[in-house]
Chain A
Amino acid sequence: MNILGEKLNHREIWKKLKFGDSLIESDVKVLRTGISELDELFSNGVKPGKLIEWGLPQGRNGRIFPVLFLRKEIPLTIWIYADLGLDIYAPAWAAHGVDLGRIFFLKCDDPVKKLKPLFLDDTFKIIIIDSPKKLSRGDISFISVQARANKQIIFLIRNYFLSPRIGNPFAHIRVNCSQNYKGIYSVNFIKGKNLKKILLTDSRIFNE
């Protein structure tokens, strides 16, 4: 049952997942960063219906990586961030190439419980959930099913490094990112087709 007591039509959803629906055209292009070695590790881009889990502790400048995917022309995107005492500093997003007319923000600690209509609706084709204080496995399962049904891309950002010992069966790719003081960025994939760690410099990332 969803929030309004409607029975979810699981049969319909699984049918679409199995056989596809040629009538529904995805208006979400595959998301790419434009950095070839990075896109290759993301299987040449993030496709609609995928859930990517990011391990990006605060203060390590790791969020530059999900933002890299939002630099080119994007469909309507929403970034849901937890209340950690911080607010959005919009000019920095624009400076990194994000179109402020296409990205919206929402401060919420419990996104699935409080913002369920957002996931049931396909208005936002890219949804980023940043450091939610409350998100159960059931919630993640719900999000991932909805993402595939609505052909959305979900980025789930955690405020800590991810461990391979504690898995997430709903995430297609799990990756840890951070920057050190010398300006070198580390990207370490712990789940996905390519389990690899790469290092990137400032200039490699920002000169694309």
Chain B
Amino acid sequence: MNKKSIVKVIDLKTLSRDETLPCFGAFYCEIESVGKNIFSLTPWVMQWTENIWLFNLSPCRNFWAIQKEKKKKGLYELFEQILDISFEKEYLSVFANHPWQCIFFLDYLLEKKAKGVFSLNTLLNRRIYESLPWDHWFNPLVILSDHLNYLKVKGFRESQFRSKQAQLKRFIKRMDLWGPFDLSQADVASIKRRFSGWLGEVWAWTFNGFLEGEKQTLNLFNSEDNQVNLGSFPWIPFQIDDPPRVIRHLEYPVNRWDVVESLLIEDFSKLCAVNSWTEREQVSSIIWGITLYNLKSLKVELNFRNPYSLHSDTRNNFKTALYQAYYAYMELMDKLRARETDLDLPEEIPFVGWEIEINECLYIPPQITELISTENSKLNYEDILDLQNKIPLPIESYVIVPDFFPDLSFRSGEAGNTGEYDFSLNQWIEASSNRPFFYYKNPLPITCPLELKRRFLERTSNDWWESENLKDITKDYFLLEDREGNFIWVFRDNSGAWYKHGIYS
């Protein structure tokens, strides 16, 4: 057994073969006063209680993936070092694919007085999570109720929520159930029907990605899928008071981009000079609050897909920020042209002033700078992150997953990360040699093409022992030549239905 294998056996935190970056984290630490260190892993933070914080890592996925590759460290090892340096105190942190799962598991670990970093992506922790008793599930519902009240969520009534919890507790006692997973066969709809919509939502969050046969199909790092996954979870972004801000009152109305651009360059420079922040903070969002000629105010958000150093961009005249501002400006102009009020004003209503405010930042404390690698590797993936910040569309990257089932044989990845496995992926890669370069994510049903020329390629099988979907147990794939002479990738499922899955482009 080589040294690497021995290390993996002893290191209980990383029993999974693949250190998949989790999307959410919960963090417990008795911090006397909250500083910018709370943003050292991500700019998207929520204060759950006085000492518990939630992280959403989706804006920093590429950034951490690159740091992990550059420093040749395990992901959790890197996070541990950063949290150790940022807080210099004992802390406890849990990472999972939903914030509720982090909170549930954290409650258990707090009772056990655990310390350090834990992830629900490891087999051991998943088993523990599945055996947790009810107390740890009910305890955080009080805080959840407070947050839902704070947000004045429509349809939520605290008294009803409490009474339904009492009803559920009586049911559990009657049925003598140890924990939520003893009732895992109950689907969300039945829980909602019997114990109210909100307990049903919490039920769904608890089992997200844990039920047998269920695989996570959402890309949690995609902003739309991230919101779908969060569902109705009351995420309340935490922000430091008094963010860096610059206000400009224009001497004359302007609406031409070349004029706006030169003024923005001055304002970005002034923003960098504001004392309340430094070059250690990497921006992920800037709010541009514009006052129009009719004195109406509009806010547009300049979003950067990866943490971006505004201070470092000074030498390039803030090109990256200006690209995002330009896209926001063009979108705003389109909206203004389409308006139905104030029609006596010019089609592109001029601006009379604006305010630029730093909305979200990733904070890198001084001691962490040495952990964050700045060496130039042969392939500089940080240039890709920088370029990503300049364009309005996401750059896609993929990694192979060791699975023969066509739809599950790859996933979207982070720049520079080709997936970490201790074994060669050749056999899974070779299995795809007859498959096309482009495919339909949702196969299109077609009529039975028996009269057309076709060549059998392969038979695939899903994890039938985990799946209740009998149609997908086996799929017979063919290369089909249609009437126009095009080569299509088709399959016939267990029930004999035919589907078009891709095109040999």
Query: Which chain B residues lie closer than 8 Å to A123 at the CB level?
Result: 380, 383-384, 386-387
Report if B246 contacts A (CB, 8 A): no
- The answer on a CB contact under 8 Å between B322 and A104 is no
Query: Which chain B residues lie closer than 8 Å to A59 at the CB level?
Result: 482, 484-488, 503-505
- The answer on a CB contact under 8 Å between B383 and A100 is no
A88 to B258, CA, bound (A): 38
A67 to B416, CA, bound (A): 20
- The answer on a CB contact under 8 Å between B428 and A91 is yes
Query: Which chain B residues lie closer than 8 Å to A63 at the CB level?
Result: 437, 505
Main secondary structure of the interface of A (DSSP, over half): loop
Residues A86 and B440 in contact in the complex (CB < 8 Å), given A63-B505, A96-B433: yes
- The answer on a CB contact under 8 Å between A4 and B322 is yes
Could you tell me the distance in whole angstroms from the C-beta of A99 to the nearest C-beta in chain B?
A: 8
Report if B432 contacts A (CB, 8 A): yes
Query: Which chain A residues lie closer than 8 Å to B379 at the CB level?
Result: 75-76, 101-102
Report if B418 contacts A (CB, 8 A): yes
Which residue from chain A places its CB closest to the CB of B505 in the assembled complex? A63
Chain B, 416-469, CB within 8 A of any chain A CB:
416-418, 428-433, 435-441, 453
Number of B positions contacting A (CB below 8 A): 57
Query: Which chain A residues lie closer than 8 Å to B430 at the CB level?
Result: 95
A85 to B380, CA, bound (A): 32
Q: Which of A92, A102, A106, A118 contacts B396 (CB 8 A)?
A: A106
Residues A61 and B418 in contact in the complex (CB < 8 Å), given A89-B435, A179-B487: no
Chain A, 74-120, CB within 8 A of any chain B CB:
75-76, 78, 81, 85-96, 99-102, 104-108, 114-115, 117-118
A85 to B500, CA, bound (A): 12
Q: Which of B258, B323, B502 contacts A86 (CB 8 A)?
A: B502
Report if B257 contacts A (CB, 8 A): yes
Chain B, 395-433, CB within 8 A of any chain A CB:
395-400, 406, 409-410, 413, 415-418, 428-433
Query: Which chain B residues lie closer than 8 Å to A114 at the CB level?
Result: 391-393
Could you tell me the distance in whole angstroms from the C-beta of B414 to the nearest C-beta in chain A?
A: 10
Which residue from chain A places its CB closest to the CB of B401 in the assembled complex? A91
Query: Which chain A residues lie closer than 8 Å to B486 at the CB level?
Result: 58-60
Taking A59-B484, A94-B429, A123-B386 as given, write out 13 further A-B residue pairs in contact, using a Cβ cutoff of 8 Å, ordered by the A residue number: A4-B261, A5-B257, A5-B261, A59-B485, A59-B488, A59-B505, A60-B487, A61-B504, A89-B439, A106-B395, A115-B391, A117-B387, A117-B391
Q: Spell out A's residues near B (CB within 8 Å).
A: 3-5, 56, 58-63, 67, 75-76, 78, 81, 85-96, 99-102, 104-108, 114-115, 117-118, 121, 123-124, 179, 181, 206
Q: Spell out B's residues near A (CB within 8 Å).
A: 257-258, 261, 319, 322-323, 326, 379-380, 383-384, 386-387, 390-400, 406, 409-410, 413, 415-418, 428-433, 435-441, 453, 481-482, 484-488, 502-505
